[in-house]
Structure 1
Amino acid sequence: MNKLLVKIIGIASFLFLNSCKSLVNKQTKMERSAAAPFIENFDSQSSFDFLWQDDSSQSPSSYVIEGESLKITTSVGSQDRVKAHTRRKDFGVGSYIWRIYIPQFEKNARCSIGAFLYHSGKPAYEVDFEIGFGKSALRETLNAEVDQAVVFCTSQSKPFTSEEFKVKMEAWSIFRMELNNVGGKYLVKWFINDQLVKTLQTEVKTAVKFSVYTSLENLSFMGSKWPTREHYALFDSFKYEQ
């Protein structure tokens, strides 16, 4: 075998081994990142700006760290959709916990607090908590008291389902979502104040990863009129762990 051929084989072997090493390192890094816990106490504006990104839809970015909470507001008579999501987009199997203050919503107002997971690829996927006053017919069906808000626990696709529950207004509550791997697809569980309220086996593969959202949006499905006063929501903490 001549020296040139030996040299070519040596270079090719070197490049191949380094390519394999690079792929292994990249995969290990991705797995390490995906497994890493994420804790946000909403007590530092600079930390929030570093870890979160605005996603308000043609709306003002009306949120701020105030009194060790994330305060989000929407304005009178508007269709504001104020949202922020984690810059991390690799969340998958694990437990997601939001601690949220639910204010007294204006009666029949189209305003909703959101705590949800969203995958922005094609197709998009979303699983969420949406919390608001709720339309009159639904409140009657749920026998909601005057001091209770309606909680929608929803999977937006594969399959689409939505079930509604109740939670106290003018109080802090814990909203937890668990994503489990069953046969390579997500099994989702929704908890309100540690009570399991819904379980759903989805067709969404666990290869699909999510960003985490906090939001306050004036949405038509939640009520029968646009708000006639400013609304707000407080997020005290968010935690993710496997």
Structure 2
Amino acid sequence: MSKTTTSRATTSRIWNFDDLNEWEDATQVGIPNYWFKDGILHIFTNANTWDRTKIKSIATYTTGTYSWRVYVPTMGVGDCASIGAFLYSDDTHELDFEIGYGKETVRQGLNAVSDDLIVYATSQANPSHSFQSKIKRGQWYTLSITLALNSQKKYIATWKIDNSILTSTTLTYGSSTKFKIFCSVENLSFIGDHIPYTQNYALFDWVEFK
């Protein structure tokens, strides 16, 4: 279910996850591992697989603020599993939040402790940009990416968690590139040290664009 409110400047949309209305399956590997209950999307990947479970918006969007309300649970130690909240146009126009246990080398570099996970804020290309930080497991967070235009009509992308800025970068492209919005849990090799030994999951309460 979605709600739409319109003002002079912008159209705001918020999706509460009662179903896939205005969204579609985007699973790449494995079967679609998700369900909806009480307005929350439950999404997971299985142990000993390279499952890539995700959904995406049917419509595309440009400038504005994209927000995801996400529960970040305990994740398997060393598991290559990532919670994703991201924007995708194509492989060289993609902006991500990805959260997982993290490789041990990255955890050591960030002085991560046992209840820390690693969050990546990333532009995949044009230009490549990656910022890593720590995030506590077992909590709800609001993740957001804001896209604004500079004087050269290029996007400035800003990543925030609970309204605190993580990082920002100027992209080489602007609003001719439109994005679909994604929610995912994927077993990906970059964010851990071994194939997942456990089932990993995330909860998405809502997604908003304004």
TM bucket by the smaller chain?
Answer: over 0.9
Question: Structure 1: how far apart are the matches of 2:199 and 2:38?
Answer: 19
The reply on whether 1:82 has 2:56 as its aligned counterpart is no
- 1:159 deviates by 0.3
For the aligned residue pairs, the C-alpha RMSD in angstroms reads: 1.5
- 1:124 deviates by 4.1
Of 183, 192, 195, the residue aligned with 1:223 is 192
The reply on whether 1:56 has 2:24 as its aligned counterpart is no
Dislocated runs of 4+, deviation >4 Å: none
The reply on whether 1:199 has 2:168 as its aligned counterpart is yes
Question: Structure 1: how far apart are the matches of 2:116 and 2:16?
Answer: 26
| 1:9-64 Cα distance to aligned partner (Å, 9 max, x none) | xxxxxxxxxxxxxxxxxxxxxxx9xx53221121x22xxx2210111113211111
Of 108, 112, 119, the residue aligned with 1:151 is 119
Q: Which aligned pairs between 1:24-103 and structure 2 lie closer than 5 A?
A: 35-42=10-17, 44-45=18-19, 49-89=20-60, 91-103=61-73
Aligned residues: 202
Question: Structure 2: how far apart are the matches of 1:223 and 1:124?
Answer: 23
Structure 2 unaligned segments of length 5 or more: list them: 1-6
Aligned residue for 2:21, secondary structure, equals helix
The equivalent of 1:24 in structure 2 is none
Code of the residue aligned with 1:176 in structure 2: it is S
The reply on whether 1:113 has 2:88 as its aligned counterpart is no
Question: Structure 2: how far apart are the matches of 1:97 and 1:50?
Answer: 18
Bigger radius of gyration: 1
- 1:200 deviates by 0.2
Question: Structure 1: how far apart are the matches of 2:176 and 2:101?
Answer: 35
Of all paired residues, the percent bearing the same amino acid is 33
**TM-score by structure 1 length?**
0.80
The reply on whether 1:239 has 2:205 as its aligned counterpart is no
Q: Judge conservation of contact 2:92–2:126 (CA < 8 Å) in 1.
A: no
- 1:148 deviates by 1.2
- 1:207 deviates by 1.2
* Greater percentage in strand: 2
